[in-house]
Structure 1
Amino acid sequence: MGAAAYPRENAAEWKGSIAVLVAHGSWAGDRLVLWAERSGEVTRSTSRAKVRPHPFAASHADLVGAFPEVDGVEGQVTLALPGSAGSPLASPECGVAVSARALRLGRWRVPVLFVAGPEAFALLTDGSVGEKAGASLRYLVAVAARARDLVRRGRVLPQLVRESAGFAARWRPVLTGDDARWFRETAAAMPPVGRAVEEERPSAHVLIEALVCLVDAAVRAALPGPVVGGRRPGARSALPDRWAAALTGTDGSLPGVREDQAQELAAALHGWFADAQALDQPVRTCFRLAEPDGDDDAWRLEFALQSADDLSVYVPAEEVWADGGRAEERLLAGLGRAARLYPALDRALRHARPCALELTTAEAAAFLRDSAALLQAAGFGVRLPAWAGRRRVGLRMTARQRKGPGATTAQGFGLNELLDFRIDLAMDGEPIGEDELAELVRLKVPLVRVRGQWVELDGGQLDAALRAVQERGRGEMTVAEALGEIALAGEEDLPLVEVDADGLLGDLLSGETDRRLAPVPTPETFRGTLRPYQERGLAWLSFLSGLGLGGILADDMGLGKTAQTLALLLAAPGRTLLVCPMSLVGNWQREAERFAPSLRVYVHHGTDRDVALAHEADLVVTTYGTALRDREALAAVEWARVVCDEAQAIKNSAAKQAQAVRAIPAPFRLALTGTPVENHLAELWSLMEFTNPGLLGPARRFRRRFQEPIEARADEEAAAALRRATGPFVLRRLKTDKSIISDLPDKMEMKTWCTLTPEQASLYQAVVEDMMARIDGSEGIERRGNVLAAMTRLKQVCGHPALLLKDGSALPDRSGKLARLEELAGEIVEEGDKALVFTQYAEFGTVLQPHLEARLDRPVLWLHGGLTKRRRAELVDRFQHDDEPMVFLLSLKAAGTGLNLTAAGHVIHLDRWWNPAVENQATDRAFRIGQTRDVQVRKFICLGTLEERIDEMIERKQALAERVVGTGEDWISELSTDRLRDLFALDREKAVT
Structure 2
Amino acid sequence: MSTTTAVSPELQLAWHDGALHLWALHRDDASVVHLVELIRTVDRVLGRHVSAAGTPSRIPVRLPDPTGTQPAPTLRIPLGSLADLAGGQRQAPTLTPTLQWFAAVTALAQSTVRATRLRPVLDVDGPIYVARWVPILEHSITAALDELHTLMPPACGIDDMAAFFVAVVDAMARRGLGELGWRPSPPLQARGTDYRAAQATFRALSSVGGSVLYRTDDLPALGDLARTFEAELDRAHGVPVVAPQLRLHLPIEADDPWVLTLELVDLDHPERWCAAADVIAHTPLALDIARQPQHLDRLRSRLETAAQMLGLHIDMLEPLALDHSTAVELSVEQVERFLTEAPGVLDELDVRLLGPEHLVRAKAAVHATATPKMDAPSSGRFSAGALVQWDATIDDTPIDDAQLERAAAAGNSLIHVNGRWVRLDAQQVKATLGRLHKQRKDHSELDVAGLMKLAAEAAAIEDGADAAVALRADGWIADLLAGLPDEQLEELREPDSFVGELRHYQRRGLSWMGFLARLGLGGCLADDMGLGKTATTLAHLATRPGPHLVVCPLSVVHNWYAEAARFTPQLQVAIHHGNERARGDTVAEQLVPSDIVVTTYGLLARDIDALGAVRWGTLVLDEAQNVKNHLTRAARAVRHIAADQKLALTGTPVENHLGELWSILDAVNPGLYGSATQFNDRYAKPIQRNGDPAATAALRTLTQPFILRRTKADKTLLPELPDKIEQVAWATLTKEQATMYQAVVDQLLADAQAESGMKRRGIVLAALTRLKQICNHPAHAAGDGSRLSGRSGKLARFDELIDDLLEVGEHALVFTQFREMGLLLQRHLGERLQMDAPFLHGGVSRTGRDAMVRRFQAGEGAPILLVSLKAGGTGLNLTTASQVIHYDRWWNPAVEDQATDRAWRLGQAHTVLVHKLVCEGTLEERISQLIDDKKQLANSVLGTGEQWLTELSTDALRSLVVLTPGSR
The two structures share one fold, judged by TM-score above 0.5? no
What is the TM-score of this pair, normalised by structure 1?
0.44
What is the TM-score of this pair, normalised by structure 2?
0.45
Greater C-alpha Rg: 2
